Each structure stands twice: as C-alpha cells, then as structure tokens.
Amino acid sequence: MAEIVSLAEAVGRAIHDGDAVAMEGFTHLIPFAAGHEIIRQRRRGLTLIRMTPDVIYDQLIGAGCARKLIFSWGGNPGVGSLHRFRDAVENAWPASLELEEHSHAGMANRYVAGASGLPFAVLRGYNGTGLAEVTPTIAPVTCPFTGEILTAVSALRPDVAVIHAQRADRAGNVQLWGITGVQKEAVLSSERAVVTVEQIVDVLDPRPGAVVLPAWTVTYVAQVPGGAHPSYALGYSARDNDYYAAWDAISRDRDAFTSWLAVLMKNAL
C-alpha cells in the first residue's frame, strides 16, 4: 500500500546504489524533481532505463550516477544532442557508460512483457537493422502456429519505477492523463514505484482518458508541485521549451555543467 512521504524520503528509501531505475514520462510528466533528488543523494552505479533519456538523464549521467543506460532515443527533443550522454559514450566522461539500445517499439514491448509477468515480448521489428546485431536482448523467435520468424525482446524488470502524475488521493491512488506514455507498464513491471504528484486531493473524480494506478501498485507518493519542470503536467503547467533550448549550452561544456551541478547540490528542495 502506498505511503505518502516527502520526496527526499521516497528517494532515500526506494532507490539504492546499483539499482535498475526506470524514470518514465514521454515528453509529458517527466519526473525531473525526483531525478534531481537522486543526484543530490549521490546515488551511484545505477542502471538507468528510459525510452527517451532526454535532459533528465543527461543530468544524471553528467552527475556520475549511471553505470549503464537502457534506452531507445537519446536526444534533446527539437533542440539537438544530449552532450553529457555523448561525452560519456565518446570520451568516458565522467565515467564510461554501458549501452543497451533498442527501438521505441522494442522498449515499449519490453515493459509490456515485464508488466505481464512474461520473460519476453514478440514484435515484428529490427529485421535487417544494426541494433539486432549489437543488442543481446533482441533475438529471433519462430511462431509455433505459422512458422513465421519474428523478434523477441527480453522483459524489463526494473528495481524501481519513478513517474510524475497529476494527482493522487490520500490513500495513494494515482491518476494521470494526457500523454500517458509507458508509465503504467513501467510501474507494473517494477519491484517498487515512486510517484511524485502535482496535488494530493480528497477525491479522484474521473477524467477522460485517465490512467489510474491503484494505491497497492505504488510504494511511495510524494507531493511535488511542478515536479515535472521543464517537462509539463497537462492541466497544471506548460512545457518550458526555453529551458530545453538553454540546456544545450550548459550540457555542451563540462565547466558550465559542473557549475550547474554545484548549484543543484546546494539547493535542497
């Protein structure tokens, strides 16, 4: 059953050095505040899992939290490169970064398999691509009914899922709407789940198209208004496109990034 705690407590209790951590949110509802708390608490050796490791994972990688990245698209959307990610891969700064690389369809299906309690998922994909050659969690599989050769991808089973949602009630039931991405699958495939929310309310009145995660699927809920910034929470905030554009210059330069990191470490929530 979900416990309502502070963000610092949620991160401190749920996320340990060496854990596999899936922080999801497809452009919308990215759990930035939780990512910053992980940096502040100096977690190390993490396997970071995320379909689109955009600015949030650029920050965690630059801060030295990550050992390995499991992903499908590592760019700053609409802006360009993630320079901390590139510096880690191209120059091993601040440390080398092991990659396990998929397509979006592959990653989404890996979460589906994890949420379904299956060892793998099947899709039509990857045939003829270089990814099938460099990624060991992609393999051919033969359909037992038609003989067709399809592609299997192994299940994702993270230690912790971290997501941001619009609302929770006082029992810890969580509600999110708008672009809901792969968050339900990330939570259900993980051992533990941390959810930050814009607002804790008495009653979760129904919303069109909302995903509801019952309290017993969530480990910790923390109220963090604006916790998705510079991403956004539909109905609460708008995407801060200027932040994404400004991140390019910070990320491009090790000294500028180091200064940014020093300020983050000083500013507790």
Q: Which residues contact other proteins by CB under 8 A? A: 26-28, 51-52, 71-75, 77-79, 81-82, 85-86, 89-90, 101-105, 108-109, 111-112, 123-131, 134, 148-149, 178-182, 184-185, 209, 211, 232, 234, 238-239, 241, 244
C-beta closer to other proteins: residue 184 or 192: 184
CB 184 within 8 A of CB 139: no
Note the residue count of the chain.
269
Residue 161: φ, ψ to 5°:
-105, 140
Residue 111 to residue 227: CA distance in whole angstroms = 24
C-beta closer to other proteins: residue 6 or 237: 237
Minimum distance between the CB of residue 163 and other proteins, rounded to whole angstroms?
13
Minimum distance between the CB of residue 191 and other proteins, rounded to whole angstroms?
20
C-beta closer to other proteins: residue 92 or 269: 92
CA-based nearest residue to 57, from 106, 17, 105, 99: 99
C-beta closer to other proteins: residue 105 or 200: 105
- Beta-bridge mates of residue 21: 48, 160
C-beta closer to other proteins: residue 12 or 80: 80
C-beta closer to other proteins: residue 163 or 222: 163
Minimum distance between the CB of residue 179 and other proteins, rounded to whole angstroms?
5
CA-based nearest residue to 234, from 194, 201, 198: 198
Residue 108 to residue 183: CA distance in whole angstroms = 10
CA-based nearest residue to 37, from 58, 8, 66: 8
Minimum distance between the CB of residue 266 and other proteins, rounded to whole angstroms?
30
CB 34 within 8 A of CB 11: yes
Tokens of 135: 């990624």
Minimum distance between the CB of residue 244 and other proteins, rounded to whole angstroms?
7
Minimum distance between the CB of residue 22 and other proteins, rounded to whole angstroms?
13
Query: At how many degrees (to 10) do helices 241-252 and 254-266 cross?
Result: 120
